[in-house]
Amino acid sequence: MNILYTVFAITMISLSMLLSGCEEQAVQTLPERAWTLTWSDDFEGAAASSPDKLKWTYDIGTGNNGWGNSELEYYTNRPTNVQLNGEGQLVITARKESFSGSGYTSARIKTQGLFSQTYGRFEARIKTPTGPGIWPAFWLLGDNITEVSWPQCGEIDIMEQRGQEPAVTHATVHGPGYFGGNAKTKAFGLLTGRFDTDFHLYAIEWGEDYIDFFIDDFLYQRIQPSDLTGEWVFNKPFFIILNVAVGGNYVGYPTTGTPFPQSMIIDYVRVYKKS
Q: Least distance to another protein from the beta carbon of 61, Å?
A: 26
The whole-angstrom separation of Cα 65 and Cα 11 is: 29
Estimate the share of the chain in helix, then strand, then coil, as percent rounded to the nearest 5: 5, 40, 50
Give the DSSP per-residue string, 208-227.
Answer: TTEEEEEETTEEEEEE-GGG
Question: Segment 120-149, which members bind another protein (CB under 8 A)?
Answer: 130-132, 134
Catalytic residue among 160, 165, 205, 208: 160
Q: Which is nearer to another protein, 91 or 141 (CB)?
A: 91
**Binding status of residue 258 toward another protein by CB under 8 A:** yes
Answer yes or no: 155 catalytic.
yes
**Binding status of residue 259 toward another protein by CB under 8 A:** yes
**Binding status of residue 192 toward another protein by CB under 8 A:** yes
Only segment of 33-41, 60-68, 107-115, 189-197 that touches another protein (CB under 8 A)? 189-197
The whole-angstrom separation of Cα 37 and Cα 3 is: 33
Backbone angles phi, psi at 211, to 5 degrees: -135, 120
Size of the site for another protein (CB under 8 A): 34
Pairing verdict, β 102-106 and 73-75: parallel
Q: Which residues contact 266 (CB under 8 A, 6 or more apart)?
A: 43, 89, 90, 91, 92, 124, 125, 126, 138, 242
CB 116 within 8 A of CB 156: no
Q: Indicate which single residue of 3, 19, 35, 253 sits in contact with another protein (rule: CB under 8 A).
A: 19
Only segment of 58-66, 67-75, 92-100, 161-169 that touches another protein (CB under 8 A)? 161-169
Alpha helices in the chain (DSSP H): 145-148
Answer yes or no: 73 catalytic.
no
Q: Least distance to another protein from the beta carbon of 84, Å?
A: 23
Q: Indicate which single residue of 27, 34, 46, 54 sits in contact with another protein (rule: CB under 8 A).
A: 27
**Binding status of residue 65 toward another protein by CB under 8 A:** no
**Binding status of residue 191 toward another protein by CB under 8 A:** yes
Sign of the torsion angle spanned by Cα atoms 273, 91, 126, 140: negative
Residue type present at position 202: Y
Q: Least distance to another protein from the beta carbon of 223, Å?
A: 16
CB atoms near residue 191 (< 10 Å): 5
Chain residues binding another protein by CB under 8 A are: 19, 22, 24-28, 130-132, 134, 162-167, 188-194, 196-197, 215-216, 218, 220, 255, 257-259
Q: Known catalytic residues?
A: 155, 160
